[in-house]
Chain A
Amino acid sequence: MVNRNPVIAVIGAGIAGLEAARQLADLGYSPVLIEKEPAVGGHVAQWNRLFPDMTPAAEVIDALKKQTAKIRTLLGTEIASINRLKDGFSLVLTDGTSLLCQAVLFATGFQLFNAAKKEEYGYGIYDRVITNRDLEAWFNTRKDMRIKQPEAVGFVHCVGSRDLKAGNTQCSKVCCITAIKQAIEIKEEFPDAEVYCFYMDLRLFGKKYEDFYIKAQRDYGIHFIRGRVSEVGEAIDGRVVVKAEDTLNGKPVKVTLDLLVLMAGIVCNPDAQHYARQVGVSVDDDGFLKSRDNIAAITESSRPGVFFAGACTGAKTIPETLAEARSAALNIHHYFNKRK
């Protein structure tokens, strides 16, 4: 492969950044991965298993790490400023160095919604209220004193997503299937536990998702209750008392649970917005970065030389993110070819 030399700054070394960098390197470019965390892998590296085949997340990350081992990667490094030059960009990094590049790829990912903002659910107030991320951490480490032979566990879907009052109207896309996955995993760990999923509606669009949902009901006996949780309180023994509406039965429900898991939604990464403003890239109404065209050019920004991959433009599944990373790499390749 010919080294075409252009340097491409890839901001973020989650799965989108890693996959795009791999593709760019294969195409003969010199990507530089800039990651603010001390390790690559982003959110997926913190996950335990992935739906719908229960693939270990580590497998996906290890493969990407192996494939990008030779790519220059700056860990624990943030970008102090980005300046647009005549033929590229100058990035000043927090380690005091600067990086000149000919294109910038935003692979800045997302943030999980801060579940404490939904005060009625009591995250950060009641011990036994945790988030989807906390539960994945437990699947990885088995270290959380709050999770000990639970007899009843609840999952609240759409925490901070599809929620006008929370300021996030968009669907986080992966929470429904993640809740089902985690509910099944809880049942596998604690077969005698009663598991409840409180949902608005289930958006199971992906390959095998619907089968996964049927399996959760048929094989694991997980209870799906269509209705919003209105409030959470704490019982004298530390368990949580959950009040919700069952809209299919037309009745209020109240259950006492050993553990309540909040499916915190996906929101934009504020770092991405900060960097986008510096290079003159627009931010969309939902806070995510704005593509040049939401149908035909999702990985392109309105500015030449600036590209997007993954959840920086909106919530995405892992396969979608990987596919988009490849697409972004190819777009960058065409961009340089046209400039020859």
Chain B
Amino acid sequence: MIYQGKQKIWADYQKEIPDNHWFYVRSCIRQNFFPASEKYFLAICRDQLGRDIYESEHHTTCAGIAYHCDTIPQETAMTVVARQFALMTEAGYENLVTSCITSFGNYTEILETWRQFPELEEKVREHLWKACRREFKKPKYVAHASDLMYKLRGEIAERAHFQLVHRATGEPLRIVEHIGCHYSKMFPHKGVGGAEYPCVLSGMAESWGGRVIDYPERRHCCGFGFRQYFVKANRGYSLSNTHKKFESMEPYRPDAIITNCPGCPYFLDRWQYVISEMEGKTYGQNGYGIPVLTYEELAGLVLGVDPWNLGLQVHQVAVEPLLDKIGIPYDPARKYLGMDEKKIMTPGLPTSLKCF
């Protein structure tokens, strides 16, 4: 590996990320999978780092999933997106930041389609007016939330309580980074670092003390692929994708996986359980799995947020081995306490995958 070669490519794919004043749109599914990720994105950017990030309770899905599943035509998705732009315009913002990778890809694709086919934009403006009497300005800038956190990584590092370093050995933790397909595979210049060697997540991991692993199936899809997963009969494809990635990364003995897509961390996390049940195989050390985190969760841990407040107890793969490596304190007794210290359900234990 020639690290300087990667740095050269990264330099070619740096993009402008405005420092402040963003209109934030959430994901349809992330709050179910990772209940505190979006909350802590806002808490870190707004409360700790003082950025102005606005969100509207009136925004909806971007319709990206329906578009990619071929259940709605692109014009419909465009009109939904136009409404989000109208909300942004009404709130007085010009920069749009999305929580979801598919949304980011959807917004980017729609803006590019309008650039190439202005008559479509006109048609959508008409649809939006007829449907809800709204008008919009196109955003000056569309970023994914991981872009913004990448930009702020240095400020997070300055405030870090913990580093991604193995407490016992002093060695950097071995981090696998996994980029959502819709982040830069469609428009390489829209992603920090491009499509082949993106550095949006590796930049965060390295800034916070970790060392990133480049393994042969790094670019391979996590297995979420809408048509693979949403059609029940195709779920074997989904699982085999994930299996392929884990087999490929296993020799590098990763300490954690960091992701920036709604689907990737979910599938990389949950399929470890399924693989363990099917094959009795686990990929972490001592029978555990490899913890899979969103970049917000990782940033939260680095900044000293209580792991259970970050929602790490809803992950399938136990995160405690990772917390122990870094030296992050946690109270096992609080793991399954919900709001107002009420006990939420304790999950059953898998057959093979070791969990706490």
Q: Is the CB of B196 within 8 A of A119?
A: yes
Which A residues are CB-close (under 8 A) to B218? 233
Given contacts A119-B197, A126-B1, contact A233 B216 (CB under 8 A): yes
Taking A116-B8, A125-B6, A234-B216 as given, write out 19 further A-B residue pairs in contact, using a Cβ cutoff of 8 Å, ordered by the A residue number. Answer: A116-B5, A119-B9, A119-B195, A119-B196, A119-B197, A124-B2, A124-B5, A124-B8, A125-B2, A125-B9, A125-B197, A126-B1, A126-B2, A127-B1, A127-B2, A233-B218, A234-B1, A235-B216, A241-B216
Question: A236 contacts the other chain (Cβ, under 8 Å)?
Answer: yes
Give Cα distance in the complex from A233 to B249, angstroms: 12
Task: Annotate B204-219 by CB proximity to A: 1 below 8 A, 0 otherwise.
Answer: 0000000000111111
Chain B proximity of A243: nearest CB distance (Å): 9
Q: Are A120 and B196 in contact (CB under 8 A)?
A: yes
| B216 close to A125 (CB less than 8 A) | no
Docked-complex contact A236 and B251, CB < 8 angstroms: yes
List chain B residues, Cβ under 8 A from A125: 1-2, 5-6, 9, 197
A201 interface hit (Cβ, 8 Å):
no
Which residue of chain A is the closest to B214 with respect to CB atoms?
A: A234
A236 closest partner in B (C-beta)? B251
Q: Could you list 20 A-B pairs, sorted by A, with CB under 8 Å?
A: A116-B8, A119-B9, A119-B194, A119-B196, A120-B196, A124-B2, A124-B8, A125-B6, A125-B197, A126-B1, A126-B2, A127-B1, A127-B2, A231-B219, A233-B215, A233-B216, A233-B217, A233-B218, A234-B1, A236-B252
Residues from chain A with a CB closer than 8 A to the CB of B1 are 125-127, 234
Q: Which residues of A contact B219 (CB under 8 A)?
A: 231, 233
* A238-289 CB contacts (< 8 Å) to partner B: 241
Interface residues on B, range: 10 to 19
Q: How far does the Cβ of B232 sit from chain A's closest Cβ, in whole Å?
A: 25
Q: How far, in whole Å, are A231 and B220 apart by their CA atoms in the complex?
A: 10
Instruction: Compute how far the CA of A235 lies from the CA of B217 in the bound complex, rounded to whole angstroms.
Output: 9
Q: Which residues of B contact A124 (CB under 8 A)?
A: 2, 5, 8
- Which residues of B are found within 8 Å of A234, using beta-carbon distances? 1, 214, 216
**Using Cβ atoms and an 8 Å threshold, which residues of chain A touch B195?**
119
In the bound complex, residues from chain A placing their C-beta under 8 Å from that of B196 are: 119-120, 231
Residues of chain B in range 157-202 having any CB-CB distance to chain A below 8 Å: 194-197
A120 to B9, CA, bound (A): 11
CB distance from A257 to the nearest CB of B (A): 12
Query: Which residues does chain B contribute within 8 Å of A235, judged by CB atoms?
Result: 216
For B213, give the chain A residue with the smallest CB separation: A236
The listed residue with most A CB atoms (<10 A of its CB), out of B2, B6, B194, is B2
Q: Could you give, for residues 1-37 of chain B, a 1 whenever the CB lies within 8 Å of some chain A CB and a 0 otherwise? A: 1100110110000000000000000000000000000
Q: How far is the CB of B21 from chain A (nearest CB, A)?
A: 33
Q: What's the nearest-Cβ distance from chain B to residue A146, in Å?
A: 11
* A window 109-125: CB within 8 A of B: 116, 119-120, 124-125
Nearest chain-A residue to B13 (Cβ)? A119
What are the residues of chain A within 8 A of B194 when measuring CB–CB?
119
**A125 (CB) vs chain B CBs: closest residue:** B5
How far does the Cβ of B177 sit from chain A's closest Cβ, in whole Å?
Answer: 14
Q: Which residues does chain A contribute within 8 Å of B251, judged by CB atoms?
A: 236
Shortest Cβ distance from A121 into B: residue: B196
**B contact residues around A236 at 8 Å (CB):** 215, 251-252
Tell me the bound Cα distance from A124 to B196 in angstroms.
Answer: 13
A residues in contact with B8, CB < 8 Å = 116, 124
B194, closest chain A residue (CB): A119
Residues of A within 8 A of B2 (CB): 124-127
How far apart sit A127 and B6, CA to CA, in the bound complex (Å)? 12
Q: Beta-carbon contacts of B237-260 to A below 8 Å, as 1s and 0s?
A: 000000000000001100000000
Per-residue B-contact encoding for A275-314, CB less than 8 Å = 1, 0 else: 0000000000000000000000000000000000000000
Q: Which residue of B lies closest to A256 (CB)?
A: B216
- Does A233 contact B197, Cβ atoms closer than 8 Å? no
Residues of A within 8 A of B5 (CB): 116, 124-125
State in angstroms the CA–CA spacing of A126 and B2 once bound together.
Answer: 6
Closest residue of chain A to B217, judged by CB?
Answer: A233
**Residues in A whose Cβ lies below 8 Å from that of B9:** 119, 125
The proximity string for A residues 226-237 relative to B, scoring 1 for CB distances below 8 Å and 0 otherwise, is: 000001011110
Q: A125 to B7, alpha carbons, bound, how many Å?
A: 9
Cα separation A162 to B2 with both chains bound (whole Å)? 28
Residue from the set B195, B216, B251 with the largest chain A CB neighbour count within 10 Å? B216
C-alpha gap A234/B2 in the complex (Å): 11
- In the bound complex, residues from chain A placing their C-beta under 8 Å from that of B252 are 236
Shortest distance between the CB of B242 and any CB in chain A (Å): 17
Residues of B contacting A116 with CB < 8 Å?
A: 5, 8
* Complex alpha-carbon distance, A120 and B197, angstroms: 9
The 5 lowest CB-CB distance pairs between A and B, nearest first, are A233-B216, A124-B5, A241-B216, A125-B5, A119-B196
* Nearest-CB residue, chain A, relative to B252: A236
Which A189-234 residues sit within 8 Å CB-CB of chain B?
231, 233-234
Chain B residues near A231 (CB-CB < 8 A): 196, 219
| A119–B252 CA distance with the chains assembled, in angstroms | 23
Can you name the residue of chain B whose Cβ is closest to the Cβ of A241?
Answer: B216
> Which A123-138 residues sit within 8 Å CB-CB of chain B?
124-127
A307 and B140 alpha carbons, distance in the complex (Å): 51
CA distance A241 to B1 in the complex (A): 13
How far, in angstroms, from A48 to B217 measured CA to CA in the complex? 36
* Interface-centre pick from A120, A125, A127, A241 (highest chain B CB count, 10 A): A125
Nearest chain A CB to B175 CB, angstrom units: 16
Interface string of A23-53 (1 = CB under 8 A from B): 0000000000000000000000000000000
